[in-house]
Structure 1
Amino acid sequence: MSRQRAPHVLIIVQNLPVPLDRRVWLECKALRAAGYEVSVICPKGPGDPAYAVLDGVHLYKYAPPKQAEGLAGYAWEFVYCWLRTAALTLKVRKRARFHVMQACNPPDTYWALALPWKLLDGVKFIFDHHDLNPEVFRSRFGEPKELGGKVQLAILKWLERRTFRTADRVISTNTSYQDIAVRRGGVPREHTTVVRSGPDTSVMRPTHADADLRRGGKHLVAYLGIMGPQDGVDGVLLAADRIVHHHGRTDFRFVLLGFGDCLDDLKKQCTDLGLDDYVEFTGRVGPEQISRYLSAASVGLSPDPRSPLNDVSTMNKTMEYMAYALPVVAYRLTETVVSGGECAVYVEPGDSDGLADAVVALSDDPAKRAELGAAGRRRAEQVLDWRPQAQAYVGVYDELLGFASAGPFPDGWPAVDRRSADQQAEKLVDQWGNRLVDLRDDAALREFAATRALTLQDESERATGPTAS
């Protein structure tokens, strides 16, 4: 395929709207930078139009179904989303022929949509493997003992196998998922590529904290992510209860950033525990809110309980905390340790008392927070960053299609600190005007990780403008 004719990629997402789905949006931007045409089909978020073009990406959206309840409700949700997506593929095709369909699970049903396009129009199929649906089932319901549960699990395994076998290439979020694609899906290892959901550390970086977000407290403890049955957010509230009522630490505040099936139950649990004055639920949040809260927090929590799913899954929140130089307390899960390395405090899974005690100990130890926060930021930059992942991701398309793309960074490898030499005297701010931490100065980074506050030098620079260096 010649470079003059840019291939068209159609990405299908059911779990989240785009660009709210951060991984998929990074993928879209990488493909666009490399010269590909990109369309996305996904559910609408609040206030989203049915069609829009954002940063050159064509977004086709359908009204999401009502929240599912019970087996019949989930089955209807899958059928509804599949049919709405199928209809929109025709609309995309009417505008422009697409050469590749990428499906992001859950669910594992879009192989059945890709198959006729493969047969009738020569479309290639790439499976972006986000979740292990058989493990999701086991994590929520345990190993089935009744016939009905065994049948449901067998169907999930069959759908997963069909997805693997229909795919021309498989993109795995970590090596554990890659091994499952090879072992359980029968995918040749050379047809699999690991693309981690690493943070874009040139964008996700700490800002000088807004103390008002701590709501009068000394320490703010943050949780960022989906709030489903498998995410362990109830354990955050149990830890908060122990910190406030057992340790008597009324100087702590907690913020839970995100949404999910369990949000209403979590709010009720919070009230029942007498924590409404200490816990804030933000609901759905955008990039600026995430940046401001994670920059103001003292500790980030990864409370995912051990389960067949969680133990082999990469938790994006852990890496995002690290990008903001936020010290992490996490349950010791296999892939969480792979992400965090030695830059986190680990607690045995399910020990909410231990989680609480670790949060208190870390909050009361500014030197440890400085060490973990600064090391976490450097690990995010040097090991986990999205930039090498973007190269691997675009490489899958280039190889499959024989397309000589410009690569995800046609203008050169982006620097973490984007100021050029003639910009040294300008204030360093993000796209929303928030003052950024100067990451070139290791001492300033450690100071920020410990205090989440401006240093005396920063305060002076705020008044007079930063000096050249």
Structure 2
Amino acid sequence: MGLAILYLHQHFSTPDGATATRAYNHATALAEAGHAVTLACGRYAGGATGLDGPFRHGQRRGEVAGFELVEFDLPYGNAQPLARRSLVFLRYAIAASHLALARRWDLIIASSTPPTVAIPALLARRLRGTPFLFEIRDPWPELPAALSKPGDGVPGPVLGAIGRLVDAACRQAATVVALTEGMARTALARGTDPDRLRVLPQGADLALFGPDARPWRPEGVGAQEMLAVYAGAHGRANGLGVLLDAAARLRGTGIRILLVGDGAEKPALMARATAEDLPVTFLAPLPKRRLAGLLAGADVGLLCLAPVPEFAEWTAPNKLAECLAAGLPVVANVPGRAQRLLAEGACGLSVPPGDADGLAAALLAMADDPARRRIMGRAARRLAERYFDTRQIAARLVATVEAVAGHATQARALAP
């Protein structure tokens, strides 16, 4: 008999959207395994839920890929001011709490960020005895604390409150899932029992991002240019200014950098590229199927983050998995986990964070040796098949959920 599962993931999208599809893949796998899944989300900029009916009483419902989707009328985007984003997080937590307490669920999956998804899970555990799985996709409050500057960022008292909430989630969750070993260590530091901790990495759809994708290039990008693609957020944390610094050193080399996505920093980046006549092209966020074709038509993938030491082990960019799945060699300026993966797979080049000269030199080395690029590209695909197959990762999530629910059922049966 299947489980009744409530999946809380505020930033949800199907592959028709331009953002991560981890929750879609996992909810689909759970439904295919015979479980009754209800996924609750908000309205995320760049996401596509698959629902198009009117909102009634602040929500709309429908079936997507075999599971029920509840979409709350709560618009959210990374360009919103911090206070507005925080309010949306809290409103989602309130709406999801009503849903979590409206019926008896066999299990709740609370996927963070934002960490406020833990509120309805903790309430349901306390009031109904419902076990929950807490997923850490970004470590809070550690990551925003690392990004904060004096007078700028999340206030200290708020970070303290978030820390206490995450402590409770890590200690009371039946299982904690982290995307990287570094994130797993933050969970252990907050009280997670090692026996209840699992690492399930970010993945990519190997069928979508693979040899069957139809390649294309944007208008104005020459067929003979070496095209290096960055696809992701354009925010302060991404540090994309260094890519423009590298582009300034690459004029006349036949190398073009393509930035795909959106974010608060994009207008300034576009203005600078135009003013300095840099070999940089910009595109709006693309649906995953369209992005797969773009990567198939590119020569190099780019992974770029701001020079924040904590990024080394605390980030799991889906853009890295997708570039590897597409068979692209990768040039990255992220140390730690990403650097180790590229070295292990012999499928890319790593440079120090913030090093524009190093980025330019790495791209020139790629441009000068097409045969090496092809060898690295094949190695990238093999690495993706070994570590980042989203179907295999989803199957492990299903097994984890079923084990958690089985243990919870057994514990209730033995309770006096």
CA distance in 2, matches of 1:43, 1:33: 24
Moved more, 47-56 or 26-35: 47-56
Q: Deviations over 1:419-454 (max 9, x none)?
A: xxxxxxxxxxxxxxxxxxxxxxxxxxxxxxxxxxxx
Q: Deviations over 1:398-418 (max 9, x none)?
A: 111129xxxxxxxxxxxxxxx
- Match for residue 238 of structure 1? 245
User: Is 2:310 the partner of 1:314?
Assistant: no
Query: Partner of 2:5 in structure 1?
Result: 9
Q: Tell me, yes or no, if the aligned pair for 2:234 and 2:261 is still in contact at 8 Å.
A: yes
How many Å separate the matches in 2 of 1:103 and 1:308?
Answer: 27
Is residue 261 of structure 1 aligned with residue 257 of structure 2? no
Unmatched segments (≥5 aa) in structure 2: 53-59, 408-416
Residues 303-327 of structure 1 show CA distances to partners (whole Å, capped at 9, x for unaligned) of 1133244111222212211111111
1:59 aligns with 2:69: yes
Residue 364 of structure 2 is aligned to residue 360 of structure 1: yes
CA distance in 2, matches of 1:189, 1:214: 53
In 1: Cα distance, 2:207 partner to 2:195 partner: 31
Report the residue type matching 1:272 in the other structure. Answer: A
Task: Give the counterpart of 1:399 among 393, 399, 403.
Answer: 403
Instruction: Tell me which amino acid in the other structure corresponds to 2:83.
Output: A
* 1:194 lines up with 2:199 in the alignment: yes
Distance 1:192 1:66 in 2: 30
| Structure with bigger gyration radius | 1
Secondary structure of the residue that 2:74 maps to in structure 1?
Answer: coil
Task: Using the TM superposition, give the Cα deviation of residue 126 of structure 1 relative to its aligned residue in structure 2, in angstroms.
Answer: 0.8
Letter in 1 for 2:356: S
Change (3 A) 1:267 1:389: same
Identical aligned residues as a percent: 28
Instruction: Give the superposition deviation at 1:89.
Output: 4.5
- 1:318-357 matches, within 5 Å, as 318-340=320-342, 341=344, 342-357=346-361
Cα displacement string for residues 271-326 of structure 1 (whole angstroms, at most 9, x for unaligned residues)? 33334xx4333222112211111001111101113324411122221221111111
Q: What is the distance in 2 between the residues matched to 1:362 and 1:391? A: 36
Q: By how many angstroms is 1:145 displaced?
A: 9.0
1:72 matched residue in structure 2: 83
> In the alignment, residue 135 of structure 2 is paired with which amino acid?
D
Native 8 Å contact 2:7 2:110 kept in 1: yes
Alpha-carbon separation, structure 2, partners of 1:234 and 1:209? 28
Matches within 5 A, 1:96-135: 97-135=104-142
How many residue pairs get aligned? The number is 387
User: Residues of 1 paired with 2:218 and 2:35: CA distance?
Assistant: 43
Partner of 1:440: none
Partner residue in 1 for 2:22: 23
Task: Judge conservation of contact 1:302–1:330 (CA < 8 Å) in 2.
Answer: yes
Question: What's 1:293 paired with?
Answer: 294
- Cα distance in 1 for partners of 2:40, 2:397 equals 19
Q: Measure the CA separation in 2 of the matches of 1:233 and 1:212.
A: 20
Deviations 1:27-48 (A, max 9, x none): 1122122221111111224684
For residues 428-439 of structure 1, the aligned pairs below 5 Å read none
The TM-score normalised by the length of structure 2 is 0.84
Native 8 Å contact 2:210 2:326 kept in 1: yes
CA distance in 2, matches of 1:110, 1:381: 31
1:177-196, Cα deviation, whole Å (9 max, x unpaired)? 112211x1111111011111
Counterpart CA distance in 2 for 1:43 and 1:265 is: 28
> Which residue is equivalent to 1:304?
305
Secondary structure, in 3 states, of the residue corresponding to 1:200?
coil
Residue 66 of structure 1, CA deviation: 6.0
Aligned equivalents of 2:351, 2:274: Cα separation in 1: 26
Q: Residue 227 of structure 2: SS of its match in structure 1?
A: strand
Residues 53 and 338 of structure 1: CA distance in aligned 2, closer, same or farther (over 3 Å): farther
What does 1:74-223 correspond to in 2, within 5 Å? 74-89=85-100, 93=102, 97-142=104-149, 149-182=155-188, 184-206=189-211, 207=213, 209-210=215-216, 215-217=221-223, 218-223=225-230
Task: Give the superposed CA RMSD.
Answer: 2.7
Conservation of the 8 A alpha-carbon contact between 1:168 and 1:191? yes
For 1:281 and 1:87, the matched residues in 2 are separated by 42
**Taking structure 1 as the reference length, what is the TM-score of the superposition?**
0.75
Which one-letter code corresponds to 1:39 in the other structure?
T
Q: Which residue identity is paired with 2:369? A: D
The letter of the residue matching 2:96 is T
2:316 is paired with a residue whose SS is coil
User: Would you say 1:34 and 2:33 are equivalent positions?
Assistant: yes
User: Does the Cα contact within 8 Å between 2:262 and 2:285 map onto a contact in 1?
Assistant: yes
**Could you tell which deviates more after superposition, 13-22 or 160-169?**
13-22
Mark the CA change 1:258 to 1:69 in structure 2 (over 3 Å): closer, same or farther.
Answer: closer
Instruction: Give matches, 1:269-280, under 5 Å.
Output: 269-275=272-278, 278-280=279-281
Query: 1:429 maps to what in 2?
Result: none
